[in-house]
Chains A and B, each alone.
Chain A
Amino acid sequence: MANIRAKLKNWLAMKTEDCKNVSPLFSHALDRKLSLIEKLRVRLHLYTCGACLNYVSNLKFMHEVFRAQEENLENEKIHASLSPESKERIKEKLRTQNS
């Protein structure tokens, strides 16, 4: 049974849309609602393709990374800083600009 399913998936994968064609939809899904047809194309393809399943989960991972990075910034967990020289330079600029 498992064998038949694998064969069916393989056959479907060969006969239906390829990864290159479907892949823009994985990106679009993160930025807008997909149409019904688009959703079906995604479903069908993901049923047959483990690599694209990984691709989709990697994209979600990246989305989470950027969200977490923003959260870190908001919580003042910051990793970059101005050098003392740069700070002095900016202060000087603020002073002269005002006079």
Chain B
Amino acid sequence: MDTQTVEQVNEFEATVWVDAHGDFLYSFAFSRVRDQWLAEDLVQDTLLAAMQAKNAFAEKSSERTWLCGILKHKIIDHFRKSSREVELTDEEADMSSYDYLFREEGVWKGHWSAEARPAVWEDNPEKVLEHTEFRGILTHCLGELPERVANCFTLREMDGFDSLEICKILGISSNNFWVMMHRARLHLRRCIDFNWFRKERD
């Protein structure tokens, strides 16, 4: 087979991938970066890289798993680059914006304020995901966090990286990591409670 034919085959397969795996790869990317255009670019970069590395694809794993593996690398590369471009801001590691969740004076100083007091969430994590509105709230709440804080959270909760790996990817100190995770959880819990569970309770 001459090179021309090989290229045609590659190209044919690559365009087939768009229909076969495009939506899956896009969903995966979107859940990590929460930006439609960025997610599309990442899918495109992934398929371009896959097309060039087709020979490296050993049939050990499914085509989709292989493509998803490339996408994961692309996403982490993106996090790495965008972290390097911007210095850590005070806002990202600052906890004072969450002071309002706790009482500021009196004998109960430091305890949950009446309005922010956590309540029981009467629902099931799998069931609740079936609601389009809930999924939208999840994306919205993650999007309200500073980008690096949200990325820190998703690397941990979605991709299951440990603290050391995440510190390396995002170029943050371990102290930053612990603050960011706490901060992300305080915010997400509050945001999900406010937008979903509170409405159900009222």
Contact = CB atoms under 8 A, between A and B. Distances in A.
Q: DSSP class of A's interface residues: helix, strand, loop or mixed?
A: helix
B44 interface: yes
B24 interface: yes
B118 A86 contact: no
Contacts of B31: 69, 73, 80
A79 B125 contact: no
A20 B189 contact: no
Contact of B47 (A19, A57, A94): A94
A17 B135 CA distance: 36
Interface in A9-33: 13-14, 18-21, 23-24, 26-28, 30-32
Interface residues of A, number: 51
A98 B126 CA distance: 43
B70 interface: no
A90 B19 CA distance: 10
B163 interface: yes
Interface string B54-86: 000000000000000000000000000000000
Contact of A90 (B44, B117, B162): B44
A37 to B, nearest CB: 16
Nearest to A19: B111
Q: DSSP class of B's interface residues: helix, strand, loop or mixed?
A: helix
Most buried by B among A55, A72, A81: A55
Contacts of A52: 112, 118
Contacts, number: 148
6 contacts: A20-B111, A51-B117, A58-B193, A91-B15, A91-B18, A94-B47
Interface in B139-176: 156-158, 162-163
B28 A79 contact: no
Contact of B102 (A19, A80, A93, A95): A19
A78 interface: yes
A49 B112 CA distance: 10
B11 interface: yes
B125 A65 contact: yes
A98 B158 CA distance: 34
